[in-house]
C-alpha cells in the first residue's frame, strides 16, 4: 500500500466515529482496553456493562453459555467474579464491536462475523493455553479483534466491499484476495489503522495487520502467530465469513506454527489432529451460542454452517 493511499485511509477512518453506530460505552471501554489487567476496576466494568440494558442481557446470556462453563449467573457482578475481569471486558467489547456497523451497512452477515470473531477468540485462547503462552486472555482479545478491518470496510466502502464479497463467494477465495483486487487494500490494512486509531497496543495492531501474511512482520510475535492459526482453524471448520472457501492448509508446515515451535519447543510434540477434534465440539457450541445470544433464525444461517 503506498503512502498516499495510507494517508487517505487514515483521514477516512477518523470520520468513522461520526458515522458508526457505536454504543455510548465504546469510548470508555476502549480506554479500559488500554489498561494493563491489574489496573482494571471491578466497579468500572460492572458500570459499563450495566449502562445498556440490551448489552447487559446479552453479556449475561454469553456468560451463562456452555462456552464459558455454563454457570448460573444472574448479575453482572457475579459474571465478573466467575469469568474474571479480563474476560468480561472482552465479551463486552465484542458486543459493542458488533454494534458499530449500522444495520443497513452489513456486508458479511453479522452472524457470520460474530461466529468467526468469537470462534477465533476462543480457538486462539485455547491454543495459547495449550502451548503455555502466559496471557491466554490477551490471546482471546486478539482473536476477537483481528478482523476489525471488516467494520471499516463495511461502513466506509460498503458497495465496493459488497463487490469483494461477491467475487470471493464466486471464486471461493479468501476475502483479502478480492479486497486487494477491488479496493487496492485489505481488511488487514484498515484493521491496523482502526486499532491504531483506537489506541490499542502494538501486539493487537500487529495481529490485525498480519493475520493473513506474517511475512509483513520482521519477527512475528507469538500473538500474531496464534491469531493467524486460530483464524485458519476457524475457516476450515465452517466458521469463516459465511461462504465456502477452498482451503487446504498444512498447519504444521505453516510459518506461524514453525515460529511458535521455535519459541515453545514443547509444541514439536503437539497433537494438532486431536486439537482440531477438540475444537470441533467447541465450534458447534459457538454457533449455538451466537444463535441464542443474538436470536438468529437458524433457517437464515449460511448453508455451510
Partner 1 sequence: MAIEIASAKAGPSRDSNPGDPAYLKVRDLVYRSSGIYHAEEKLYLLISRCARRMTALGVTRPADYLEHLTVRPNCTAEMRLLLNEITIGETYMFRHPTQLEALRNVILPQILQVKGLISLKRLRFWCAGCSTGEEPLTLAMFLLEEKDKLLAGWTWDILATDLNDNSLEIARAGVYGEYALRNTSEALRKKYFREVGNQKLQAGDLLKSQVRFDRVNLSDDNKMLFQKGIDVIFCCNVLIYFDLASKRRVVQHFYSNLLPGGYLFLGHAESLFQVNDAFHLVHFVGATGYWKPPSGYVVGGKTGGDKK
Q: Which of 25/226 has CB closer to partner 1?
A: 226
Contact letters (x/-) for partner 1, 10-39, by CB under 8 A? ------------------------------
What the block records as the C-alpha cell of 280 is 470441533
Q: Min. distance of Cβ 98 from partner 1 in angstroms?
A: 24
Interaction between residue 251 and partner 1 (CB under 8 A):
yes
Interaction between residue 250 and partner 1 (CB under 8 A):
yes
Rule CB under 8 A: choose which of 87, 116, 126, 228 binds partner 1: 228
Distance CA 101, CA 150 (A): 10
Q: Min. distance of Cβ 243 from partner 1 in angstroms?
A: 11
Interaction between residue 1 and partner 1 (CB under 8 A):
no
Size of the site for partner 1 (CB under 8 A): 38
Rule CB under 8 A: choose which of 160, 276, 291, 301 binds partner 1: 276
Q: Given its phi and psi angles, is residue 132 left (phi above 0), alpha (psi -120 to 50 degrees) or beta? A: left
Rule CB under 8 A: choose which of 121, 194, 232, 282 binds partner 1: 232
Cα torsion 195, 52, 58, 293: sign? negative
Distance CA 60, CA 62 (A): 5
Rule CB under 8 A: choose which of 66, 69, 132, 252 binds partner 1: 252
Distance CA 269, CA 190 (A): 37
Q: Min. distance of Cβ 250 from partner 1 in angstroms?
A: 5
Cβ contacts of 14 within 8 Å, gap of 6 or more: 197
Q: Are residues 90 and 137 in contact, defined by beta-carbon separation less than 8 angstroms?
A: yes
Interaction between residue 4 and partner 1 (CB under 8 A):
no
Rule CB under 8 A: choose which of 47, 74, 170, 213 binds partner 1: 213
Q: Are residues 104 and 77 in contact, defined by beta-carbon separation less than 8 angstroms?
A: no
Q: Are residues 245 and 173 in contact, defined by beta-carbon separation less than 8 angstroms?
A: yes
Q: Min. distance of Cβ 294 from partner 1 in angstroms?
A: 24
Rule CB under 8 A: choose which of 8, 258, 266, 292 binds partner 1: 258
Window 162-191: residues binding partner 1 (CB under 8 A): 172-174, 177
Rule CB under 8 A: choose which of 36, 134, 274, 295 binds partner 1: 274
Cβ contacts of 159 within 8 Å, gap of 6 or more: none
Interface stretch with partner 1, choices 8-16, 110-118, 120-128, 213-221 (CB under 8 A):
213-221
What are the distances in angstroms from CA 169 to CA 101, 216, 236? Answer: 21, 26, 15
Environment class of residue 265 by beta-carbon count within 10 Å: exposed (0-12), middle (13-18) or buried (19+)?
A: exposed
Q: Are residues 128 and 135 in contact, defined by beta-carbon separation less than 8 angstroms?
A: yes
Binding region for partner 1 (CB under 8 A): 172-174, 177, 212-215, 228, 232-233, 235-238, 244-259, 271-274, 276-277, 304
Amino acid at each position: 500500500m503506498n503512502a498516499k493511499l495510507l494517508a487517505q485511509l487514515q483521514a477516512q477512518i477518523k470520520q468513522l466515529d461520526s458515522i458508526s453506530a457505536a454504543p455510548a460505552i465504546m469510548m470508555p471501554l476502549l480506554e479500559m482496553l488500554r489498561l494493563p489487567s491489574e489496573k482494571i476496576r471491578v466497579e468500572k466494568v460492572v458500570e459499563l456493562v450495566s449502562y445498556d440494558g440490551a448489552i447487559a442481557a446479552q453479556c449475561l446470556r454469553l456468560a451463562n453459555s456452555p462456552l464459558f462453563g455454563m454457570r448460573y449467573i444472574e448479575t453482572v457482578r457475579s459474571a465478573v467474579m466467575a469469568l474474571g475481569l479480563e474476560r468480561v471486558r472482552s465479551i463486552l467489547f465484542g458486543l459493542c464491536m458488533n454494534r458499530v456497523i449500522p444495520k443497513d451497512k452489513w456486508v458479511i452477515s453479522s452472524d457470520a462475523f460474530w461466529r468467526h470473531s468469537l470462534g477465533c477468540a476462543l480457538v486462539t485462547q485455547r491454543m495459547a493455553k495449550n502451548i503455555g503462552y502466559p496471557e491466554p486472555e490477551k490471546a482471546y482479545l486478539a482473536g476477537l479483534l483481528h478482523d476489525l478491518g471488516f467494520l471499516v470496510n463495511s461502513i466506509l466502502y460498503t458497495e465496493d466491499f459488497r463487490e469483494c464479497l461477491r467475487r470471493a463467494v464466486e471464486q471461493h477465495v479468501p476475502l483479502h484476495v478480492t479486497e486487494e483486487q477491488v479496493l487496492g487494500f485489505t481488511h488487514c490494512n484498515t484493521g491496523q489503522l482502526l486499532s491504531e486509531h483506537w489506541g490499542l497496543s502494538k501486539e493487537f495492531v500487529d495481529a490485525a495487520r498480519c493475520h493473513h501474511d506474517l511475512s509483513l512482520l520482521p519477527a512475528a510475535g507469538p500473538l500474531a502467530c496464534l491469531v493467524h492459526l486460530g483464524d485458519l482453524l476457524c475457516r476450515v471448520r465452517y466458521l469463516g465469513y459465511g461462504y465456502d472457501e477452498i482451503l487446504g492448509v498444512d498447519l504444521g508446515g505453516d510459518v506461524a506454527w514453525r515460529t511458535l515451535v521455535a519459541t515453545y519447543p514443547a509444541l514439536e510434540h503437539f497433537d494438532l489432529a486431536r486439537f482440531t477434534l477438540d475444537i470441533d465440539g467447541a465450534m458447534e457450541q459457538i454457533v449455538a451460542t451466537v444463535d441464542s445470544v443474538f436470536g438468529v433464525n437458524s433457517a437464515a444461517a449460511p448453508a455451510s454452517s
